[in-house]
Chains A and B, each alone.
Chain A
Amino acid sequence: MSSGTTKLDVTVADVVPVNELVTRFHFRPTSGGLLPTFSGGAHVVVEMREEGKAPRLNPYSLMSSPLDTTEYTISVRRDDAGRGGSLFMHNRVKPGDRMVVSYPVNLFSLDLRAKKHLMIAGGIGITPFVAQTAQLAAEGGNFELHYACRTAALFTYGDLLRERYGKRVHLYHDDRGEKIALDRLLTSQPLGTHLYVCGPAPMIDWVRGRAAALGWPTENVHFEHFSAPQPGKPFDVTLALSGKTIRVGEQQSLLEAIEAAGVDPPYLCRGGVCGQCETNVVSHDGTFLHNDHWLSDEDRASGRKIMPCVSRFEGKSLVLER
């Protein structure tokens, strides 16, 4: 089957600054009509094209209601230290622009068997929950959202969610010393509750760690890492199957560099989660910078696998089976 996902041609319908760090983008189908239906938790891969530069493809969670497919909306947090994807969105994208996004893919799906959905969000990790709560509310689903943020000014959609769902939404301001009473929360849930967490890596680790210690089965704990590819030192790679040698630029991911050379590995998430672009290492002399959440510790120790969407390399030589 072809690599990646099916594409959608969309037009930017609106660009809305939400706060000093976050901007929301609205996409409508360029040809009119409705966009494909999606499920809460799904993301799309947004293609960012600039003349003279290799295209960047970043995943963003859909945060509009799955019940309304006249448009897709995403919220992008500006990352001044990142590879420029978020800066491109913030600085370059204007209403009326035509863009290409992928079909929705859901790697952070609700478990619909749940008798209750307990959601914990940190910062921009709120976006998939905006869509999921809309979906659940429409079906009379039982959910509770606990959302932590640094300051009131950065509380993206906090007021909106409070307005929509009232007491089912709990907000915690770090700068006011408010903290999620996690152990109390985790020990008071009825059987059949599923736990979802999305936010910065330390938060995810904290929640998963406490859940495990308090007897939550792994099947009931769902999490989404927001890991965008990080910039790094340029490095050279030989693609053994296609007989090409390529250079991965400072602001480029290894996957993007492979694609720029005309080789198309399969992908879905471009965030180190789905496992689709897993690539065998033929030989290497140097150090891997693994940034994915897919490979096992054994895979990493073996030095024979890499996830090119988020991981990098430093050293003398790297030969991949691509």
Chain B
Amino acid sequence: MGIQFRKETFRDDFSFRNSPEHIRRFPFPFHEDSYMYAVNIEPHRPGPKGSVLEHPFDVDEHYVSEMEDRALVLAEDPLRCQSLPHMTLAGWDLLELIMTSKAESYPEHFSLTRDGDNWHWINRPLNIDQTFVFGDTTTLPYGPMEYITRQAQGDYCILDQRDNNLWMDAGIVTTQADWSLDFDIGMNFFEWHAPVPLAHEMGIFQRALKFLLNVQQGQPARRLNWTMTINPRLDTSPENYHKWGPDRTTVTPENVGQKVHLRVELQTFWRLPRSNALVFPIRCYLIKMDELVTSEKWAKRLHRVIRDLPEELATYKGLTRYRPTLVEWLSKYDDGGVTSPGFGPD
């Protein structure tokens, strides 16, 4: 039995929700009752069965609907997917990485047959059956990066490595936390992180870059990041900020549970073999407050984290307008008791 893919939306009527099993596997990002930046990078080793870390590239019940949402975003704004001319080889590297990984992790949904450079890819959930020549862009309907990432959840940034820095020279970005690929493409590691407050002064980015430059083939790494989003909207782009920004004024004590979502990014880092580039998938997981508080521990901890978050971070993450309402709502679930260590829901 494979994954049961939900039919749902991330816009208009916002029918997205997590099934009870999916709530339990949500990658809750706080291991203690407070939050501050850290270089929280660790080896991307397989996690427990059923968890989002079980496979190198997680596929979940939202897969088919997320891919439909991506297609809508790209039709509206093709600038969300760009690749500078020297990054095509890295695109093939990424295509190989995702196809081989998915075919191995989910044989009931994906299969890949290779005969030299003649490849045959089957993606059953999306009804795709494609034969093509690896390395020959004329045999695919899109460039290799766009082709495979229209079939892979999460945003993808491909970073060229040179002059002891990483350069964001290709990507597909449709489920982002308010940053623009079109604006940031071509920037180096420090430049595209420039708007992030506090972390530069803390030396976070220097240490993170040093680590990432040395990520080796066969030794991927990962970290979690988080923010919050009003309504289960994947595409919270700066391009459309004037369209989704007003959502932030609509939070009331009555609708917090349905409207406010914790948004967690599982970021992984992979050395690509032919191009020596680094690919940086940013996989977005959403959970409604009503879903999250089904875990007493998560409810208590999130209350404390949001309540005590430094003002600069709250502003950067766009929480300012609705933070008091959210904290008040979460406080009902916090009896002040001790929470257990670790990320799990108990």
Contact = CB atoms under 8 A, between A and B. Distances in A.
Whether A and B touch directly in their complex, counting CB atoms under 8 A apart, is answered as yes
A122 interface: no
A105 B215 CA distance: 10
Interface string B152-173: 0000000011110000000000
B218 A36 contact: yes
A66 interface: yes
Contact of A66 (B84, B163, B214, B274): B274
Most buried by B among A2, A5, A113, A268: A113
A105 B162 CA distance: 14
A279 interface: no
Contacts of A135: 274
A104 B276 CA distance: 10
A35 to B, nearest CB: 10
A50 interface: no
Contacts, number: 59
A37 B161 contact: no
Given A1-B43, A36-B273, A39-B273, A112 B216 contact: no
B218 A112 contact: no
Contacts of A113: 84, 86, 160
Contacts of B274: 37-39, 66, 135
Nearest to A37: B273
Contacts of A37: 93, 96, 273-274
Nearest to A112: B86
Contact of A38 (B89, B161, B273): B273
Contacts of B214: 268, 274, 276
A111 interface: yes
Nearest to A222: B162
A6 interface: yes
Nearest to A113: B86
Interface residues of B, number: 22
B9 interface: no
A103 interface: yes
A274 to B, nearest CB: 8
B89 A139 contact: yes
A112 B275 CA distance: 8
A109 interface: yes
A23 interface: no
Interface string B82-99: 001011010001001000
Interface in B35-65: 43
A2 B216 CA distance: 11
A106 interface: yes
A106 B218 contact: no
B330 interface: no
B249 to A, nearest CB: 45
A219 interface: yes
B163 A105 contact: no
A1 B160 contact: no
B161 A36 contact: no
Nearest to B162: A111
A274 B161 CA distance: 14
B279 to A, nearest CB: 14
Interface in A181-237: 219
17 contacts: A5-B216, A5-B218, A6-B216, A6-B219, A38-B217, A38-B274, A42-B276, A103-B218, A105-B217, A109-B162, A111-B162, A112-B86, A113-B84, A135-B274, A219-B162, A219-B163, A268-B214
Interface of A: 1-2, 5-6, 36-39, 41-42, 66, 103-106, 109, 111-113, 135, 139, 219, 268, 274, 276
